[in-house]
Structure 1
Amino acid sequence: MKHLLKKISAFTEQLERVLIISGIIAMMVNSTANAIGRYAFNKSIFFSEELNQFLIVGVTFIGFAYAVRKGRNIRMTALYDALGYKARKVLTTIIALFTALLLFYLAYLSVFYVAELKSINRLSPALQFPVYYIYAIIPIGFAMAGLQYAMSFAMNLLHPEIYVSLDVTEEEEKDSMGAL
């Protein structure tokens, strides 16, 4: 089971990296070009702000899935840290299951939101581009993050260690946080 999950994880991690890096570079190039145009030539790129908004949506939702993969999502650990090993294991497993279910549900709901945007044929103001193409990243991001939590849930069920994500155990997380 772990081998299959690792293969799925490796593919989605590469996809997430490419999308995040491309989005950030595109924002940087777009913002720089707009600033140069505005200050050097007294002409702004008319769609620059809109393009950056679209890129922020993509980077945010794909970045969320990537953060979950690396065990870098926000967690409240004050009570958790006071628990014994067995209680932490059970709590982590339950949290992973319910978070996965919640994210899959949000992905499901966001599909309807994107479908509604498509049905009303909403276009972006500057580019006149169908916005449902851009916002389609929302259910994808939720589903990818849900998949990460589902894999964490499976790892916690199948292995004695506490997994905060597919590849990161609680012990490894503590070691990496101590290095910071």
Structure 2
Amino acid sequence: MKRLEHIFVVLNGWALIGMLSAMALIVGANIFLRYFTAHSLPWADEAARYLMIWLTFTGAGLILRIGGHVAITNLQDSLPATGQKLLRALIVLILLTFFAYMVYVGWQYAQRMQFQVTPALRLPFLYVYAAMPVGFALLIVHLLLIARPFIGAGDYKSLDARGVDDDTVTGGANG
């Protein structure tokens, strides 16, 4: 199981690296062409925008794993240990419910947009809006993988120097 989790995290990370690299290359090429040939790629801004949308949704789960999202821990810190565990369990349940709802809503919205196409790339908007259900599904998987240590001790996964999951880090929202 730990090996599958590691593969999942690494693949998620490489997908983000690929999208960010593609975005940088497209924008860089467009800037070069604009200033050195007086012509630009008509689809570059649109492609970069859609890659940024996909980066945001698919990267949220990796940030969740390490406690990188904003969190206010005043209530949790004021509770006794048992109360803290119950509060964290409630938070996990609320998040799972919200993420599942957003997968459902996102998929419905993406399906509604499947017959409209983007202006420059002429891609069905389904591919753009699919970032939402895919991203929230990834959030569900990442949350389930960290739920036990988070509920038990408020731990998040830590990253080693290579950005790969190490053991866990105890602490608040920022590890």
TM-score, structure 1 normalization: 0.82
For 1:125, the aligned partner's letter is: P
Which residues of 2 match residues 48-59 of structure 1 at below 5 A? 48-59=44-55
Gaps of 5+ in 1: none
Quote the RMSD (CA, aligned, Å).
2.3
Which residues of 2 match residues 167-178 of structure 1 at below 5 A? 169=168, 171=170, 173=171, 177=175
CA–CA distance in structure 2, aligned partners of residues 148 and 163 of structure 1? 14
Assess, with a 3 A threshold, how the Cα gap between structure 1 residues 37 and 18 changes in structure 2: closer, same or farther.
same
Gaps of 5+ in 2: 159-164
Indicate if the aligned counterparts of 1:92 and 1:164 stay in contact, CA closer than 8 A.
no
Match of 2:155 in 1: 163
Assess, with a 3 A threshold, how the Cα gap between structure 1 residues 11 and 104 changes in structure 2: closer, same or farther.
farther
Match of 2:97 in 1: 101
CA–CA distance in structure 1, aligned partners of residues 97 and 7 of structure 2? 22
Shift, 1:15, TM fit: 2.1
SS of residue matched to 1:81: helix
Task: Return the structure number with greater helix share.
Answer: 1
Task: Return the structure number with greater strand share.
Answer: 2
Identical-residue share of aligned pairs (%)? 25
Residue 88 of structure 1 pairs with residue 84 of structure 2: yes
CA–CA distance in structure 1, aligned partners of residues 56 and 156 of structure 2? 21
46, 63, 67: which is aligned to 1:67?
Answer: 63
Give the paired residue count.
Answer: 167
CA–CA distance in structure 1, aligned partners of residues 150 and 57 of structure 2? 25
